[in-house]
Amino acid sequence: MVSASEEVSVVALSTTGVNIGSPISIEKIIGEKGLIPYTITKNNEITIKGRHVNFKGDDQYFQEEIGYLYRFFSNPYSIKMGIGSIKGDSYIEEPSEKIDIAFYYGYAETELRLEDFSVIGNLKIGLTDKGVKVVSSGAIRFGEELRTHLLLGYSNYSIYGTKGFLEFNISATENISPMLGVVVEKVPTDVISSTQFLTGIKCKISEGVYLKPIVGFGGRNTSCMGLAFNLDTSFNF
């Protein structure tokens, strides 16, 4: 790199036969300080997520989130802020023992990216029927976000339970990434845990627009099983 500015960057090429005006594609650049090669070249991202888990009519919940993320290219990290909610109902043994689920929150999330490795932290603060609660969660990613990678995470939903998950994403083509995953969660806290097996695909709809539909199947036991649906959308600009 000879010089760089917001308008023009000048580089010295170790090759000959490049004419003025020739298109040049740079796939990866790893700086002297070891910054990772970003596969997303936009600073801003808006994400919209929805999830529905339904084991039975009286044992189900919805989760929705909308967030804004900013990537700091001078350093290998990003910060995301947004709002969300978890709503639903369950029961311990009989439907008459109904447990309402309601958590409305704001959240902040940071990601530290190293070479082929990321650490993600998330903090949620919101209202429940028992007052203000704080939820902490974290994840680690082995591999780059839009390439083949493994994502492992854990969440503590305060009085509403806990969640652990594992995702394996495969970069099949430039625009398609299939996903397999497992979720083990205890939502709400008073009921037995559930295990769900997920499959999905992340698709690049257009430049900077990604869609990830996910479907899953599982349950708390053989008599309490059902489907789970997720839909994640992101807009990079």
Q: Give the pLDDT confidence score for residue 14 in this predicted structure.
A: 57
Number of folded domains that form the chain: 1
Kindly tell me if the per-residue pLDDT of 179 is higher than 50: yes
Kindly tell me if the per-residue pLDDT of 26 is higher than 90: no
Q: 82-96, 129-143, 161-175, 192-206: which has the minimum mean pLDDT?
A: 82-96
pTM beyond cutoff 0.85: no
Q: Give the pLDDT confidence score for residue 9 in this predicted structure.
A: 61
Please report which confidence band the pLDDT of residue 65 belongs to, taking 50, 70 and 90 as the band edges.
very high
Return the CATH number at 226. 2.40.160.40
Exposed/middle/buried for 174, CB within 10 Å: 0-12, 13-18, 19+? exposed
Kindly tell me if the per-residue pLDDT of 166 is higher than 90: yes
Q: Are 227 and 197 in contact (CB under 8 A)?
A: no
Percent of the chain with pLDDT over 90: 48
d(CA 121, CA 206): 29
Range of the domain at 109: 44-236
Three-state DSSP class for residue 148:
coil
Kindly tell me if the per-residue pLDDT of 202 is higher than 90: yes
Which tokens go with 23? Answer: 């298109």
d(CA 104, CA 98): 20
Kindly tell me if the per-residue pLDDT of 45 is higher than 50: yes
Q: Give the pLDDT confidence score for residue 30 in this predicted structure.
A: 46
Q: Are 75 and 62 in contact (CB under 8 A)?
A: no
Model confidence pLDDT, tens digit, residues 75-122: 678 899 999 999 998 887 776 778 888 899 999 999 998 878 899 999
Does a structural domain hold residue 216?
yes
Q: Determine the average pLDDT of the residues in 12-19.
A: 58
